[in-house]
Amino acid sequence: MENLNNKEAMEMEFAPDAFEFTQLDERIFDKKFETKAIGYFGDAIRRFVRNKSSVVAFAIFVLIILFSIFAPIFSKYDPYYIDVNISLYPPKIPGLAKLGIFDGTRKYKVEAKYITTISDPRLADMKDEEYSKYFFIEYIRNFDSLEEIEEAKYEETFDGEVFYFVDIKYDIYARSAAPRWLKDVTHAKYLELKEEERIVVNENGEEMIVANTFLGDYYERNPQQLPPGKTPQDFYTYKVYVKGFEETPPHYFGTDISGRDLWTRLWMGTRTSLLIGLFVAVITITVGVIWGSISGYYGGNVDLIMERFTEVLGGIPWIVIMILVKMFLSGKVPSLILVGLSLVLTSWIGTASMVRSQMYRYKGREYVLASRTFGASDFRLIFKHILPNALGTIVTGTILIIPSAIFFESSVAYLGLGFDSSTLSIGNLLDAGRASGIVQHPYLTIFPSVIISILMISFNLFGNGLRDALNPSLRGAEE
Amino acid sequence: MIRYTLKRIVLMFVTLFIILTLCYILIQLTTSFEKRVTVYRMSDPKLTQEDAEAYGRAHGWDDPIPVKYFNWLKGIIKGDWGVSVVKEVGQNPWVILTRFIPFTMSINIWSLIISVPLGFLFGIIAALRKNKPLDYLISFFVIIFISVPSFVFVTFLMINATSMGLPIQFRAADQANWKDYVIPIMALSFGPIATLTRYTRAELTEVLTSEYLLLARTKGLNKFQATVRHALRNSMVPLVPLIIGNFISIMFGSLVIERIYGVKGVGGILLEAISETNPDHDLAMAALAFYTIIGLATTLVVDLSYGIVDPRIRMGARK
C-alpha cells in the first residue's frame, strides 16, 4: 500500500515534461581526448631530444657534415695543388697564435754557428745547399738577439768533436717573406720573376740562379724529338734566389710533404669517408634485407642452405676477404667500388641474420595468416606486412654500420689495401701522415685522428640515442 | 658435452677446409706460371730464364689448378706449405711464419691479460657506484675508448714516446726488449678494457638488484663478498664469451698497430706477401691460413665457453 502511495506521490511531484532527453540520436560513450595522440615517430623524437648527450653528438655530427661540404668550397687552396716550396708548413690559426699554439712555428735543435741575421753579407754568394742550413734571428721567436743565442747555447760532443747547439722556435711563415731559394721553378715562372725584378743579383752582377738545362739541352741537340708546341727552354728547371715575397697566408692545419693544404684535404677526405659509410650502409641494408627475408620467410631447406653459406662466409676473417677482393679486382674497377665491395662483403651477414630472425618472429602472426588467406603474394607479405613491423629493430641494428665502415676504411688504408693514393680519404691522409713520420710531423696525423675520433664518438652516441628512442619496448619506460 | 664439442670441432675443420680451398683457388686465379717465374727470377740476378722455369716446373707451378690444389693439400698434411720466392727463397712458408708468430701473439695475449682484470675492476666500480659521479666519469671514458680507434691511440702514444722513455718504433728483433712492447700493448688494450667495463657494469647492475643477493647480504656477507662471490660469478655467463671474442678484435686491430709501430709480426709478412709487384703466393696462403685458424678457433672456444660457464646450456646440449 505504502509503495503504491509513494509511486503516486512521485507521479504527482514530477510531471513528465519536466524531463528532457540529453541525447536521442547520437551515441556518445566517452569523453573525447583533448590531448593529441603521440605517434611512434613523434614519441621517438620526443625521447631522443630528452637524451642530451645524443643531441649534442647529433649537432657535432651535423657540423662535421657541413664542414665537409663547405670547407673545401670556401677554402682558397686547391687540395691537389703541389708546391714544394711550402712543403711541411706547420699549422697556423691566426686567432690562436697568441696562446702559443698553432702559431706556425717549428722547434729545431740547430748548431749555434748557423744562426745569423738576414742582412749577413756572407749569404749573398751562397748556393742553395749551404744557404738552407742557416736560420735567421729575425724569425726565431724564443730569442731576440744573437747575444741571447750565445748565452743559451750548450755543448755536446760527438766523436771527440765539440758542437754548440741551441733549441729554437722558428716562425716558418714569417720566414717565407724573407729572401729565399725557390725550387722547381719553370722557365715561364723564371721569366716572370725576372720581369718583376725579384731575382737577387750579387755584387758581380750575376743572377743568383741554378739552372738545370739537362733535358732542354738534349732537345736542343735532337730537335726532332721535341714534343710539338714546346721549346727546349720549357724543359729547364731553376733554383732561384728571390727577394722577399709576401708572407705565405696561414694554412690552418699546415701543409703536407708536397705543400698541399691539409685543412682542405682533410675536409675533402671526410667527405669521401662519409660517402663511403653511407654507400656501404645502403648496400649492406639492401642485400641484408633481401637475403634475410628470403632465408627467414621461406625457412626449411632454403634457409638451411642459405644459412650454411653465410656461416662459411662469416667464418672468413675480414682481412682475408679484403685481400682476396683486392687481388682479384684491383685495377679492374675503381678503387671506391673495390673498397666499398669489400666492406659490404664483411658487414652484410650481420644484417641478414637480424632480418632473418625478425622474419621468424613475425611470419606466424595472425595478420600475416589473414593476409595470406586473402591471397596476398609472398612478396607482398614480406615487404608490406612483415618488414614494416620489423623496421625499428632493423634500423637501430644497422645505424652503426656507417661509423664502422669509416673505421674500416681507415684501417685498411693503413694496411695499404684502401683507396688508391689519389683519392682523398681520412684513411689515406692518416697513412700519408704515418709515411711522413708521426713523430717528426705529428700534426699530419693528429688532425685526421682527431676528426675521425670525433666522428666515431658522436656517431656512437647518436646511434645509441637513436636506438633507445626507436626501441618500442622502452616506450614510456623511463622515469 | 663431449659429443657436442667433437661435433663443433669437426664442423670447424670443414669450414676451415672450405675457406682455404676458396682462398687457394682464388689466389691461383690471380696469377700465372709466367708471373710466378718472373717473381722468382727477381730474387737472384744470376738466375737465367731457363733455370727459373725449370724451378717452377719442379714445384708444379705449370700444373692445372686442380692438380696443384691436391698436391698443395697433400703437402699441408705433411707440414709443407710450398716455397717462398720473395721473403726467403726456397724456404717453407710455415717455417718463416713460426719465427714471426711470437711477436704477434705476445702483443695480443699480453693485451688480453691486461685488459681483463682492468675491465672487470672498472665495471665493478661503476656498477657499485651506479649513478654517482664516479660512474659517470667511468661511463664518459668508456664511450671515448670504445669509439676512438686503436690506431689513434698508437699515434698519440708514439708522439709522446720519448717523454715516456719508450722507443718510437719497434726495434729490430735482436735489440727489442719489453719496452718495445709497451706502446702496442697499451694501444690495443684501451678498446677491450672499455668494452668489458661497459658489459660488466650492465650485467652487474642487473644481478645486484636480484633477490639472492639480498639473501647473501642478510646472511651476513659484506658488500664486497656478496659482489665478488655471488653477483660477479653469475654475471660471468655472457662475459666470458665476450672476453674470448675480444681476442679476435685485438688480433685484427694488431694488424694495423703492427704496421704503424713497425712490429715485425705476421701482419707485416702477409702484407708483403700480397704485394702487387712481387707477390709471394705460398707465403700469403700460409699467413691467411694462420689468421683463419685463429678466427675460427676463437669462435669455437666462445661457443664452447657458453657451455662451460653456464651448466644449463651444457645440459641442453646433451639432449
Q: Do B295 and A411 touch (CB under 8 A)?
A: no
| pLDDT computed for residue A107 by the predictor | 84
pLDDT at A2 over 70: no
Q: How many CA atoms lie within 13 A of B129 on its CB side?
A: 14
Contact B147 A410 (CB under 8 A): no
* Contact between B20 and B289 (Cβ < 8 Å): yes
Mean pLDDT: which of A234-238, A346-350, A453-457 is highest?
A: A453-457
- Lowest-confidence segment of A122-126, A144-148, B13-17, B138-142 by average pLDDT: A122-126
| Residues of A whose CB is below 8 A from B274 | 323, 326-327
Q: Which residues of chain B are within 8 Å of residue A411 when distances are taken between CB atoms? A: 149, 151, 255-256
Q: Greatest CA separation found in chain B?
A: 86
At A262-279, the pLDDT tens digits run 999 999 999 999 999 999
**Minimum-distance CB partner of A439 among B143, B159, B276:** B159
Nearest to B143 among A323, A330, A461 (CB): A461
What is the average pLDDT across A133-154? 83
A449 to chain B, closest Cα gap in Å:
6
Q: Give the pLDDT score at B115.
A: 92
**Are B152 and A316 a contacting pair at CB < 8 A?**
no
Give the distance from residue B279's alpha carbon to the nearest chain A alpha carbon, in angstroms: 10
All domains in chain B, ordered by first residue: 2-89 (no CATH), 101-264 (1.10.3720.10)
What are the tens digits of pLDDT across the range A187-213?
A: 777 777 777 777 777 767 677 777 777
Show the cell assigned to A172. Answer: 716558418
Do the chains contact at A410 and B292, CB–CB below 8 Å? no
Q: Say yes or no to pLDDT of A4 above 70.
A: no
Predicted pLDDT of residue A13 = 67
Interface test with B, best of A338, A402, A414, A426 (most B CBs within 10 A): A414
Parts of chain B with a pLDDT under 70: 173, 311-319
Q: Is A420 on the interface with B (CB under 8 A)?
A: no
pLDDT tens digits for range A42-72? 777 888 888 888 899 999 999 999 999 999 9
With an 8 Å Cβ cutoff, is A317 touching chain B? yes
User: Half-sphere exposure of residue A415, counting CA atoms within 13 Å on the CB side?
Assistant: 30
Identify the residue among A411, A455, A462 best suited for mutation to test binding to B, counting B beta carbons within 10 A and taking the highest: A411
As for the ipTM of the complex, it is 0.84
Identify whether the C-beta of residue A341 lies closer than 8 Å to the C-beta of residue A435.
no
Q: Is the pTM of this model over 0.90?
A: no
State the average pLDDT for chain A: 82
Q: Is A327 on the interface with B (CB under 8 A)?
A: yes
For residue A319, which residues of chain B lie inside 8 Å, CB to CB? 252, 255, 270, 291
Quote the minimal CA–CA distance from B152 to chain A in Å. Answer: 6
Give the other-Cβ count within 10 Å of B299's Cβ. Answer: 19
- Quote the CA–CA distance of B16 and B27 in Å, as a whole number: 16
User: Does residue A270 contact residue A426 with C-beta atoms inside 8 Å?
Assistant: yes
Burial of A476 (0-12, 13-18, 19+ CB in 10 A): exposed
Test A410 with B149 for CB contact under 8 angstroms. yes
CB atoms within 10 A of CB A138: 15
